[in-house]
Amino acid sequence: MKTLSRWLLRESVIIPLISVFAGLIIGAIIMMFGGYNPFEAYQALFNKAFGNIYGIGETIRTITPLIFTGLAVAFAFRTGLFNIGAEGQFIMGSLAAAYVGIMLDLPAIIHMPLAVIVGGIVGGLWGGIAGFLKASRGVHEVITTIMLNWIALYLSNYLIRTHLLEKGQQKSETLAQSSWLSFSFLTDLFNNARIHFGFLIAILCAIVFYVILQKMKQGYELRSVGLNPHAAEYAGINVKSNIIKAMVISGMFAGLGGAVEVLGVTHNVTILPAFQGYGFDGIAVALLGGNAAFGSVVGAFLLGTLTFGATGMKLGAGVPFEIINIVIALVIYFVASRLIFKRLMNALNVNKQEEQ
């Protein structure tokens, strides 16, 4: 009990909690001024997300890709890199998985794992490009990953159009069922919700994230590079190779997310007119989760629940969808302002010291 309460009072836990409640409360106040009943609205949101077995299944479906992209952004961040390219790595992962799913004809026991693994590898390579450019030429990863996002988007559209297109449609053919991550016994159990086993892979990835960073020598090196690359180099760590490794692993998480979304939910890839936003939501998830493995899962859970439940608010209480976007923005704002609090305190601290 004591350990639990101590854990709850830790800064990394209590500030996100306060931020979430502050966001919800201010969202409620805005709703009240707009003439809506916030209690009804939040209840409708909750009911939509968890009120029945179908809702639970679809909520998990919404959360799953966010865990992957959240982990991708968080992992890079812990090693001192800002991976804005999770979006592109996600797209490349889905494209690769779709290729394997459509072009190959294999028994399910090989086909499905192969599609997942290839998706992860291609995502990793895509992230690795940015890592390589940073390590070898010092090109900032923010620039390269943003540009690689666009390249991924249009490359994927081009390849779908030329190789995978179903006639007269804006999407690829359907993947062979042997590559699917969704199974009818599971979807039947959840009343036709599109829940799939990608969720378990996501949790597995979070564990891998934790083990690599906290329990392995490699992770120690990666974190050292993130904290202070000069010190790390002085200590004999190869900074350049660690930058590439970090971007590859980060890209793998995002690529796996893309693969899992295709194999589990859509079973085809569409020609995208614009980004779907999984990678950008991943930045919010990582921020909410304090760039930690478990935190990212919680962050994805929160963001996924809010976005999926929002349509329930629309029908149940007449609250427009925009309100939930305000609430999400407020929550992220409050989490981000944790840094402002910290800096402010540090600055005051120094001042006081000087006075003394």
Partner 1 sequence: MENNDKLLVRLKKEGGFKNMKKNFMLKSLILILVFSMALIGCAQESEPGEKPEEPTDEPLENEVKVGMVTDVGGVNDNSFNQSAWEGLERLKRAGGDVNYIESQGEGDFEPNLNEFVNGGWDLTWGIGFLMGDAIKAIAEQNPESNFGIIDAVVDAPNVVSTVFKEHEGSYLVGVVAAMTTKSNKIGFVGGMDIPVIKKFETGFLEGVKAVNPDIDVKVEYTGSFTDAGLGKASAATMYDNGVDVIFHAAGGVGDGVFGEASERSGVWVIGVDKDQSITFGDEITLTSMMKYVDEAVYQVSRDYAEGNFKGGIRELGLAENGVGLPDENPNISEEVMNAVNEYKEKIINGEIVVPSGIE
Site string for partner 1, 306-325 (x = CB under 8 A): -xx--xx-xx-----x----
> What CA–CA distance (Å, rounded) separates 151 from 168?
25
The answer to the question of residue 62 lying near partner 1 (CB under 8 A) is yes
Applying the rule CB under 8 A, the residues between 15 and 44 that interact with partner 1 are 26, 29-30, 33-34
Burial class (CB in 10 A: 0-12, 13-18, 19+), 210: middle
Applying the rule CB under 8 A, the residues between 264 and 303 that interact with partner 1 are 265-266, 270-271, 273-274, 276-277
The answer to the question of residue 338 lying near partner 1 (CB under 8 A) is no
Given the complex with partner 1, which of 3 and 353 has the nearer CB atom?
353
Q: Nearest to residue 264, comparing CAs of 164, 195, 172, 190?
A: 195
Residue from 78, 111, 134, 194 binding partner 1 (CB under 8 A): 194
Given the complex with partner 1, which of 238 and 337 has the nearer CB atom?
337
As a whole number of Å, the end-to-end CA separation of the chain is 41
Q: How many residues are given for the chain?
A: 356
The answer to the question of residue 53 lying near partner 1 (CB under 8 A) is no
Residue from 79, 144, 157, 179 binding partner 1 (CB under 8 A): 157
> What CA–CA distance (Å, rounded) separates 65 from 71?
10
Structure tokens at 121: 């590898």
| 3-class DSSP string for 296-344 | HHHHHHHHHHHHHHHHHHHHHHCCCHHHHHHHHHHHHHHHHHHHHHHHH
> Given the structure tokens 């120690």, which residue do they identify?
220
What is the closest distance, in whole angstroms, from the C-beta atom of residue 77 to partner 1 in the complex? 25
What is the closest distance, in whole angstroms, from the C-beta atom of residue 66 to partner 1 in the complex? 12
Residue from 170, 184, 228, 241 binding partner 1 (CB under 8 A): 170
Given the complex with partner 1, which of 113 and 277 has the nearer CB atom?
277
Given the complex with partner 1, which of 162 and 217 has the nearer CB atom?
162
> What CA–CA distance (Å, rounded) separates 153 from 4?
45
DSSP for 20-48 reads HHHHHHHHHHHHHHTT--HHHHHHHHHHH
Given the complex with partner 1, which of 167 and 217 has the nearer CB atom?
167
Applying the rule CB under 8 A, the residues between 230 and 269 that interact with partner 1 are 265-266
Contacts of 103 (CB under 8 A, 6+ apart): none
Binding site for partner 1 (CB under 8 A): 26, 29-30, 33-34, 48, 52, 54, 58, 61-62, 157, 168-170, 192-194, 265-266, 270-271, 273-274, 276-277, 307-308, 311-312, 314-315, 321, 330, 337, 341, 344-345, 348-349, 352-353, 356
